[in-house]
A and B are shown apart, each in its own frame.
Chain A
Amino acid sequence: MTKRLLRLLTVLFGWALLALPVQGIAETPFPTIIEPEGKKCVEPEEVMRREHMEFILHQRDETMHRGIRTSKYSLAECIDCHVQPDENGNIATHKDEEHFCNACHQYAAVSIDCFECHADKPQKYIQRNRQTALQQQLEQVLASTADKVGDQK
């Protein structure tokens, strides 16, 4: 009787051991979060994880409508710290898995709209090509001067 019980237990334990890695593979892997360099966040990590959207939303309305321009909860400040180029000098866009925001948001299946309008990387890494810019500007001006001669009443 004891022998049979022991055998049953061994089998069960064996199954449990086998099941563990299988379960591990079946789950969506937790995103790898790129650590920002050397600085401390404006709030503790656990607060930011749960409340960051509240902070950003509040700041957004304050800045837009009341002109309050403190930098503590500014989205630009988040980006400046959390989005950095990798060792090859490439910066992930908000659609890549490597982007700080998108890493978690993809995992949580929550889409973000911020980067439809806001830059998804720090300003210092944005290359503004002045040469093509000036050329296009010239073309625009040349094209528009022709049809912008109106008549004064």
Chain B
Amino acid sequence: MSEKVCETAVKAQGVDQSRRDFLGKSLAVAGTITVAPGVFLHQTAQAKPDDQPVTGEVRWGILIDTNKCAKGCTDCVDACNEEHGLTGSMPKSSDAQRTQYIRKVTLREKATGHEHSLPMLCQHCEHPPCVDVCPTGASFKRVDGIVLVDKHICIGCRYCMMACPYKARSFVHEDLTDQTLASPRGKGTVESCTLCVHRVDKDGTPACVEACNQAEHNAMIFGDLKDPQSDISKALKEQGGKQIRADLQLNTGIRYQGI
């Protein structure tokens, strides 16, 4: 049964892909402007200017190789906590309540006892259940595929936390001060990984990926899933990558290898 579902999903994706390719090609043709006979001006990928909105021509994602992800290593989690000012910001909350955008999860195969570890974060789904259930529109997906909470209109009902299959969202239970610029956050609202949207908008890389690469673990690749020339797309094409709970057909932006 589940195989059949997967097959349909793959087929559905195949259809989408061909349409996407077609659109991509027509865009490429449109993007090529003839300056003079024989001279063409090609549009090249550039950093988005600050005053321009994000476009749906990209879709951001991360590919995580769990074989390279060491058990007990928390470099990505630490970098994330530092970047978003999470560390020590909620002293009165319990461990279960305290916000974590990334959790390290250890998986153990019962039959062999083999254990491995992976970072679990917001999967930035194409069809996010958190957005479906949000009664105010606070939980939303940006056109470039990043799923965010607009805390200005979040009423703290926590439906999205219930709807998320990945347990990626947290609720702030206490008054906060001295938030970082990257992550304004406060009591009574839900929050989760923003894929470091403040960095991505400035052509940067999320803090977790940067930390992982800096420590030379190289377990994470960040990039544009729609660009066939990006590192992440090439790696996915060559080596493949799995979605967690692929059966839900959410088409996650975070993919895993080795699970």
Question: Residues of A at under 8 Å CB distance from B?
Answer: 60, 62, 64-71, 76, 93, 116-121, 123, 126, 128-129, 132-134, 136-137, 140-141, 143-145, 148-152
Contact = CB atoms under 8 A, between A and B. Distances in A.
Contacts of B107: 150-152
Contacts of A134: 87
25 contacts: A64-B148, A67-B142, A67-B144, A67-B197, A67-B201, A68-B50, A69-B201, A69-B202, A70-B51, A71-B50, A116-B175, A117-B185, A121-B178, A123-B180, A123-B181, A128-B178, A134-B87, A137-B78, A140-B95, A145-B72, A145-B104, A145-B106, A148-B104, A150-B105, A152-B108
Given A68-B50, A69-B202, A148-B103, A119 B108 contact: no
A143 B97 CA distance: 13
A64 B152 contact: yes
Contacts of B152: 60, 64
B105 A148 contact: yes
Interface string B131-163: 000000000101010001011100000000000
Interface in B159-200: 175-181, 184-189, 197-198
Given A118-B184, A144-B103, A129 B88 contact: yes
B92 interface: no
B110 A93 contact: no
A95 B110 CA distance: 55
B38 interface: no
Contact of B110 (A64, A76, A132, A151): A151
Contacts of A120: 177
Nearest to A79: B181
A123 to B, nearest CB: 6
A79 to B, nearest CB: 10
Candidate in A64, A67, A133, A148 with the most chain B CB atoms within 10 angstroms: A67
Interface in B62-116: 72, 74, 77-78, 81, 85, 87-88, 91, 95, 98, 103-110, 115
A133 B88 contact: yes
Contacts of B175: 116
Contact of A65 (B88, B104, B140): B140
Nearest to B106: A149
A128 B193 CA distance: 21
B53 A66 contact: yes
B48 interface: yes
A137 B87 contact: yes
B173 to A, nearest CB: 13
Given A116-B187, A119-B184, 19 more contacts: A62-B53, A64-B148, A65-B150, A67-B53, A67-B142, A67-B201, A68-B50, A68-B52, A69-B50, A116-B186, A117-B189, A129-B88, A136-B91, A141-B77, A143-B95, A144-B95, A145-B72, A149-B115, A150-B106
